[in-house]
Amino acid sequence: MRTFRDFDEIKAAVGVEVGVSDWIDVTQKRIDQFAQATGDDQWIHVDVARAERELPGGTTIAHGLLTLSFAPVFIRSVMRLEGVRNTLNYGANRIRYLAPVPAGSRLRGRVTIAAAEDAQRSGLRVTYGVIIEIENHERPACMAELIAVHYR
């Protein structure tokens, strides 16, 4: 875990890979819970028997948004910013889903600080580059630029 003592250290790290997270299991139970929470119960995500018969990989696949939802966990697991009172999600610049995530896969995040600039009220707006990798797959599941504003 990399610790940044202040906003200047974050600014100095623009363009630098901060770290690579531990793996997260993407179980069918987790996929089903996400489907329940969001109402996205498309069969490719939740119908195990049909996926076994009809999908090329023979298994259900995780929702793209479920895959993306792990990004904050990946970021928090590789870095810490001291002196922050709170952090707000500011949005995203780019999100690309590059490969399906089969149920039973493991994901991890490779985190880079893509940009950092001062924001109102003593804040710092940081754009994080996150590449979400699938264990034993050459192609990543997702690439995203996520923006957060940190306040001290």
pLDDT value of residue 129: 98
pLDDT value of residue 47: 98
- 35 domain-assigned: no
pLDDT value of residue 41: 97
* Helix/strand/coil (H/E/C) assignment for every residue in 84-152: CCEEEEEEEEEEEECCCCECCEEEEEEEEEEEEEEECCCEEEEEEEEEEEECCCCCCCEEEEEEEEEEC
- Helices H, strands E: what count in the chain? 6, 8
pLDDT beneath 70: ranges in the chain: none
- 142 domain-assigned: yes
- 18 domain-assigned: yes
- 124 domain-assigned: yes
pLDDT value of residue 51: 98
Q: What Rg do the C-alpha atoms of the chain give, in angstroms?
A: 17
- 88 domain-assigned: yes
Is the whole model's pTM more than 0.85, yes or no? Answer: yes
**Cβ within 8 Å of residue 18, ≥6 positions away:** 2, 78, 79, 111, 112, 113
For residues 112 and 119, what is the distance between their CA atoms, to the nearest angstrom?
20
Domain of 67, in residue numbers: 2-25+61-151
CATH number at residue 147: 3.10.129.10
- 38 domain-assigned: no
pLDDT value of residue 34: 98
Give the chain's domain count: 1
Nearest to 27 by CA among 1, 45, 9, 54: 45
- 130 domain-assigned: yes
For residues 85 and 11, what is the distance between their CA atoms, to the nearest angstrom?
18
Residue with tokens 């893509």, as numbered in its chain: 114
- 41 domain-assigned: no
